[in-house]
Chain A
Amino acid sequence: MYFVSFILKNLARRPIRTVLTVLGLAVAVGSMIALLAVSYNVERSVEAAFDSRRVDLVVMQKGKPMGWDSEFSEYFVRETAKMPEVERVSEGIVGNANIERDGVLVDLGILLVQGWKPDNFGYEDLQILEGRRLLPGDRRKVMIGSTLANNLKELSKIGPIGHRVGDTLTFVGDPKNPYEIVGIFKSPVIFEDGGAIVPFEDGQELHSKRGKVTGFSVRVRKSAPDSQAEVETVKRKIEALRDPDDPYVVVVADTPDKYVQSVSQLELIRAVSWLVSVIALVVSVISLLNTMTMSVLERTQEIGILRAVGWPRRRVVRMILGEAACLAAAAALVGTVIAFLGMQTLTKMPKVNGFIEPDLSPWVMARGFALTVMVGVVGGAYPAYRAARLLPTEAIRHD
């Protein structure tokens, strides 16, 4: 017999309790893993897109961390494009829009509609699944992301609503100008997939930002591929720009990773996933403490015998910690499955699926596993201490 077999047999002794404990831990751990994954995936997708679009700086209005509430004059874009160190710029309009059907709002939660110029960096890694991309001269045309397309398709089962190439969509507040769907795309950025892209000028009108942009990306001419000196120069020059017509508007130019850290929606997701993780971990530890303490108490006599046959305290501690760790490890496995199923379910919910990719990266799984094993050790420590303190003579006295 192996020591591990002994530990497993101890757990098998109360199968229902063991299973329930594992399930309880797994649900807590699963929600933790799912949220970690959601937050990680969104951030990674944004970072990866900036990376593949070779963006060196992201320029937004200072003090507007929500992203789409940033707005400033196209002047900044023009002046930046003129800088000798700048290779190219790519500006965009971003805003939340809603779709209506027969004058009634269709609630899709947050629906990001971006306005892109034909040379937007984003086209470089956009995959057209159906129809075509937007072309120069297009007006009142829209490309929809694959997630949005699916959501609209689901909605079309209830009542007519555009969801295929050639159909039309009407945005709230602009009923006289229906948009024709020209293409369906897949973007590496999760929330772009849940939204739509219209021509830049249409975007300005739709979001009431004539003559303005939400932000723009900059590619810097660099002496070496990872040289930061030029990027720093351009950053300083952009941030020093002042619009002669509105000198109080200030912009910040950040590197993509710094920008991602500062976006408040992503920060919110991070904070929520952190909070839920802490709650899940605390609940798990308490649940494990309860199970293991009970298990030690009901085995008082048995632990006394183990001491009597020569087991030192540390082996008793190893046994109890081992049992706790096994419960935690099982919970981590089941929790990973729960997390995956949970994320699959979320992707069927139109209001949130624009932000969710049901993908568990090894990094997230490793982190979830590590945290769960930590739960095992922490939750097992007190019961193990109790077990180690049992006096063998007390334990076997009630003969």
Chain B
Amino acid sequence: MTDNRNYLGHRNGIPAGRRGECGDYLLYADRLYKTYPDGEVRALNGVSLGVHQGEYVAITGPSGCGKSTLLNMLGVLDVPDNGEIYFRGQPLTTRRDLDNFRARQIGFVFQSFFLIPTLTARENVQVPMFEGPRLSARERAKKADDLLALVGMSQRAHHRPMKLSVGERQRVAIARALANDPVLLLADEPTGNLDSENADKVLDLFTALQKDRNLALIVVTHSDEVAERADRVVKMRDGRVVADSGADIIPTSDSAATS
């Protein structure tokens, strides 16, 4: 799917020296800027970041430094004022079907789970399946059961979120994020509301997903423990990346091979 003409032809594209790199990345954010309409500060001030398929990246930094803003941009929930995001070498921000892209390629996990209170665990997992690949109601239910089994929640499939512990809720939320088999999982403080035991379960799950499904993970976190589990830690401050433990890593060919 790597199509070099596409990004080479892009006017605001990637600097010449990094062109080869971009095509290898699953997701590449190129100098993103963002100022909120009512905000005085620049939430993002020229952030560039590339993530490979199957890579596990932790983003850390002080409160208000722009982590969530960056994560939302990477998940195309929001568009930058300036800069471009490339998915497998293709620019994203000008695409018209961003919802569809998000439905198929990206899974979101949040600190507060955001499950729908009236739906059971099994039904919550099916919510994203109305978009993405076409499935019958039976297939949706079957897939939800499989995903709940994957996160170890089969026993509680018919419970509503209120009846679940917070750790269980987060695992249901992860199952929901996987509903359409995304290639990228974005998590904003996924263990922020969990005790260490439940946090461990979630982190184990992340590691397993990375290994078994070759899923790329970008996890925003304050916790060192979470950061330790990642392949790579990106530190942010005042809307910039100030340190990146994986910046020097030469992209391996496996991402190109899988794409």
Q: Which residues of A contact B (CB under 8 A)?
A: 1-3, 5-6, 9-10, 12-13, 301-302, 304-313, 315, 391-393, 396-397, 399
Q: Are A311 and B130 in contact (CB-based, < 8 A)?
A: yes
Contacts of A393 in B (CB 8 A): 72, 77-78
Bound state CA distance, A392 and B75, in angstroms? 11
Q: Are B130 and A305 in contact (CB-based, < 8 A)?
A: no
Asked, given contacts A315-B131, A393-B77, A399-B188, whether A309 binds B118 with beta carbons under 8 Å apart, the answer is no
B107, B118, B122, B141 pick with most chain A CB within 10 angstroms: B118
Asked if B116 is at the interface (CB within 8 A of a chain A CB), the reply is yes
Bound state CA distance, A8 and B103, in angstroms? 23
User: Which of A1, A13, A310 lies in contact with B137, CB distance below 8 A?
Assistant: A1
Bound state CA distance, A304 and B112, in angstroms? 13
Bound state CA distance, A76 and B201, in angstroms? 100
Asked if B180 is at the interface (CB within 8 A of a chain A CB), the reply is yes
User: Which of B107, B117, B140, B176 lies in contact with A1, CB distance below 8 A?
Assistant: B140
Contacts of B130 in A (CB 8 A): 3, 6, 311, 315
B72, B127, B176 pick with most chain A CB within 10 angstroms: B127
Q: Are B102 and A13 in contact (CB-based, < 8 A)?
A: no
Bound state CA distance, A397 and B131, in angstroms? 23
Contacts of A399 in B (CB 8 A): 68, 110-112, 188-189
Contacts of B68 in A (CB 8 A): 397, 399
Bound state CA distance, A391 and B123, in angstroms? 24
Contacts of B13 in A (CB 8 A): none
Contacts of A312 in B (CB 8 A): 97, 99-100, 131
Q: Are B110 and A396 in contact (CB-based, < 8 A)?
A: yes
Q: Are A9 and B118 in contact (CB-based, < 8 A)?
A: yes
Asked if B104 is at the interface (CB within 8 A of a chain A CB), the reply is yes
> How far, in Å, is A98 (CB) from chain B's closest CB?
62
Q: Are A302 and B99 in contact (CB-based, < 8 A)?
A: no
Bound state CA distance, A58 and B124, in angstroms? 68
Bound state CA distance, A304 and B140, in angstroms? 22
B78, B112, B114, B140 pick with most chain A CB within 10 angstroms: B114
> How far, in Å, is A165 (CB) from chain B's closest CB?
65
Contacts of A6 in B (CB 8 A): 119, 123, 127, 130
- Chain A residue with minimal CB distance to B140? A1
> How far, in Å, is A224 (CB) from chain B's closest CB?
59
Q: Are A308 and B119 in contact (CB-based, < 8 A)?
A: no
Contacts of B78 in A (CB 8 A): 391-393
Q: Are B140 and A311 in contact (CB-based, < 8 A)?
A: no
- Chain A residue with minimal CB distance to B101? A310
Q: Are B116 and A1 in contact (CB-based, < 8 A)?
A: no
- Chain B residue with minimal CB distance to A398? B112
Asked if B126 is at the interface (CB within 8 A of a chain A CB), the reply is yes
Bound state CA distance, A41 and B111, in angstroms? 62
A6, A301, A307 pick with most chain B CB within 10 angstroms: A6
Contacts of B104 in A (CB 8 A): 310
Q: Are A310 and B102 in contact (CB-based, < 8 A)?
A: yes
13 contacts between A and B (CB under 8 A): A3-B130, A6-B123, A13-B117, A309-B102, A309-B108, A309-B131, A309-B176, A310-B180, A311-B128, A312-B131, A315-B130, A396-B110, A399-B189
User: Which of A1, A2, A313, A397 lies in contact with B99, CB distance below 8 A?
Assistant: A313
B37-84: which residues lie under 8 A (CB-CB) from chain A? Answer: 68, 72, 75, 77-78
- Chain B residue with minimal CB distance to A11? B118
Contacts of A10 in B (CB 8 A): 118
Contact with A along B85-111 (1 / 0, CB 8 A): 000000000000101101110111011
Bound state CA distance, A305 and B122, in angstroms? 17
Contacts of A391 in B (CB 8 A): 78
Asked if B215 is at the interface (CB within 8 A of a chain A CB), the reply is no
Asked if B132 is at the interface (CB within 8 A of a chain A CB), the reply is yes
Bound state CA distance, A52 and B118, in angstroms? 59
